[in-house]
Structure 1
Amino acid sequence: MSYFIPIAEFGNYLLYSILVGHVALQFVPEANKPKVNIPIPVLLLSTLGIIIFSLGPIVQTVAYFQGGVGLALAIKSVLFDFQVGRAWIFIGFMATFLYLAIFLKGSKYVQSLFLLLMIAAVGYSSHVASLSFWPGLLSHSTHFLIITLWTGILIHAAWFSKEEPNWSKFLRWFTPFAVFCIVIIIFSGIYLMLFVVEPKDYVKSWVLPYGQMLLLKHISIIPVLVFAFINGVLSRKALKLPSFNPKPWIKAESIILFIVFYFTAVMGTLSPPHEVEFTVKSEGSSKWVEWVLGKNVLSTLQLHLVPSFQSGLLIIISILFLLLIIISFKRYKPILGVVFGVGFIVALYFGLIMSLSI
């Protein structure tokens, strides 16, 4: 069960991105985008998959309560009394209508309406919406929409498009659009983070499972930005070369984004540490962090960053990995760029964790 929930959350991000990208590209003139050929069954299965994968939080909540009230009562209560249950019922209806709209080749406006309502339901069921309804609903829905919009267009361009001379026109408008998305994602992400982790407790939260995923998510965004720079700026220049094909690099960027999705998915299954010190004392810290540090973490009151030779060396290595991503672009090796991106995440993660002093 503990493995199914993160996979379901990851699946949700991926399927929403596919659908959002499909609908969004319908609003782009044919001359300004590569020809995308995504099979209709993939879109239909995506709508059905969302209904199934959205069950993840419900299964998790039911499992938590069934021991006290029984399975039948737990299911009934979660579906009709909890935001996550009501959201799933609503998403189920909207996904069914979206399925029919895609199957019958309905208006792009109708498809976008159903999809926006589904995304609003995701925001409604979020943790931040339960803390502060309207701010949480709007911020989480906006964050989720922009992420799936940016990633969805990337997925379609990278994995479902054909080789065409339209790439230069596509990159010409997609580059500023991606920059806009990144800015909104960063600001909305910081706003959402403030609901669960205070800035003064950010480093302290790393000793908790939630904080671990939050740190990994933030680190993994950095190579995404490097790939976005490559695809947005350098690729436009490289398109002047007849032999250059930007698709593999867009695929590489989408793969790194999938890594961000996974960390986000795992993070969504963990309890947010509103009070880090209290959470450490009541639930304990991450066993993984204790193993890396070689000591038990019983309190975070004296926790702070103290760089050592080993941690400093790892951070320097992580910076070199970023430079190697750009070098790999000059060598036309996108797969190496992905490897270096993963290397950056690993090196910087261990460099920061090994800098913790208790």
Structure 2
Amino acid sequence: MEVITIISQVLLYVCFSLLAGSFLLLLVPNNYRPDLRISKGFMSASVITVPIVSFIPILDITRLLAPRLGFVDSLKMVLTTYTVGTAWNFTLLASVLLLLLMLVARRSEQGVFAFLGIGLTLGLILTVAWSSHAGAVDPVRGIISDFIHLTASSIWVGVILVVGWNSVNHHNWLKFLRWFSMVAISCLVITAISGLMLMSIMVDDYPNSWRVSYGQGLLIKHVFLLPLIFYAFVNGALVKSLILRNSHFNPIPWVRLEGLILLVIFAITAVFSQKSPPYGNYMSNEAVSPLFRLFHDEMIDASSTIAFAGNLNTVFFLVLSISLLGLMGWSFFKKTPIIISFFFSSLCVLSVYMMLMVSVVVR
């Protein structure tokens, strides 16, 4: 069931992104973006998917209660008394309204349709933030920070995915970069700030959280931000420079690569969000992450803490990380297939992760 839940969370994040990106791009004048092929069927499928995949956690709770209360009574209880169930009722309502909007909207009303669509999409994101782990720990700060985090990341990822996979051409790319670069930078900053707010709610001590699976997921997610920021810079400043020199340069493959890394980050987020957040006096030797155990097999308890001590292995992985970062840049200028650049990116992430883990000392 955990695998199904993880897949459902990834699909939920992707659907939010596709909807937010599509509606935002529909508001942008045609001469400020490439020509796009965004069908109502594509958007409707995303809307229909949202209440289906967000129902999985409800089904999981119902399954646990069913042996004692019966499936039907358990489902009624979850939908009417649990926060996750109440939030899902509003998710279903907002999804139905958004689907009806898509059915009745006319092509001549595209601006109004997109504006209302963004509003309802934000409503869907709010219902998910309402039922989040952070919302359960701190109802005010948790819901607000999770809503802002999901919204900013959905807008950024959504535009990247829609432009990367639904563009007919790369016309007006420089005009597109002028406004989207500011949007992407704003979303990155907002995502970072809201992410720090979420960490302050869910994690007592970030380095010490690396000992458990939730903290390991956070660390890997954060390390993946390095290649993401690199390709965001590539798709902004470097692509602009190349297009000015060569108008036939096609930037879309590199946008797809940035989108692929964002999808990997979504997947990592879905995996570690299923683990127990490391707040409070949570640590025991049995709770230590198998990944952390690969590097440290000492006895660990609540009194154990993490410190850092550089060594030759640290230097080796630091040099390797910088070299792989250089190979990522080389692959761009040599116009290699994006799978090669993604391979270098993954190796760079692994090298940075290894550098941090071999520098850790348990006391």
Which range, TM-score by smaller chain? over 0.9
Which residue does 2:296 correspond to in 1?
293
* Distance of 1:155 and 1:309 partners within structure 2: 41
Cα deviation 1:259-295 (Å, max 9, x = unaligned): 11111111221111112xx322286211232133344
Change (3 A) 1:302 1:21: closer
Aligned counterpart for 1:184 among listed residues 185, 190, 201: 190
Aligned counterpart for 2:156 among listed residues 132, 143, 150: 150
1:75-94 paired onto structure 2 within 5 Å: 75-94=75-94
Change (3 A) 1:313 1:67: farther
Change (3 A) 1:67 1:348: farther
1:43-54 paired onto structure 2 within 5 Å: 43-54=43-54
Q: Report the CA distance between 1:319 and its aligned residue.
A: 2.4
Which residue does 1:203 correspond to in 2?
207
Cα deviation 1:45-88 (Å, max 9, x = unaligned): 11111111112322333344445555444322222112111111
Q: Report the CA distance between 1:204 and its aligned residue.
A: 1.1
Which deviates further from its counterpart, 169-178 or 332-341? 332-341
* Distance of 1:353 and 1:11 partners within structure 2: 31
Match of 2:34, SS? coil
Q: Report the CA distance between 1:135 and its aligned residue.
A: 2.2
Which deviates further from its counterpart, 341-350 or 249-258? 341-350
Q: Report the CA distance between 1:210 and its aligned residue.
A: 0.3
* Distance of 2:248 and 2:22 partners within structure 1: 28
Aligned counterpart for 1:257 among listed residues 262, 277, 280: 262
* Distance of 1:99 and 1:300 partners within structure 2: 53
1:15, 1:46 within 8 Å by CA — same for their partners in 2?
yes
Which residue does 2:109 correspond to in 1?
none
* Distance of 1:315 and 1:294 partners within structure 2: 24
Match of 2:294, SS? helix
* Distance of 1:166 and 1:3 partners within structure 2: 42
Cα deviation 1:293-331 (Å, max 9, x = unaligned): 344534552432223322431232122222222222111
1:19-98 paired onto structure 2 within 5 Å: 19-66=19-66, 69-98=69-98
Which residue does 1:312 correspond to in 2?
315
> Given the alignment of the two structures, is residue 166 of structure 1 paired with residue 158 of structure 2, yes or no?
no
* Distance of 1:229 and 1:82 partners within structure 2: 44
1:80, 1:86 within 8 Å by CA — same for their partners in 2?
yes
* Distance of 1:170 and 1:335 partners within structure 2: 25
* Distance of 2:78 and 2:357 partners within structure 1: 38
Identity of aligned residues (%): 29
Q: Report the CA distance between 1:352 and its aligned residue.
A: 1.4
TM-score (norm 2): 0.92
TM-score (norm 1): 0.93
Match of 1:207, SS? coil
* Distance of 1:143 and 1:121 partners within structure 2: 13
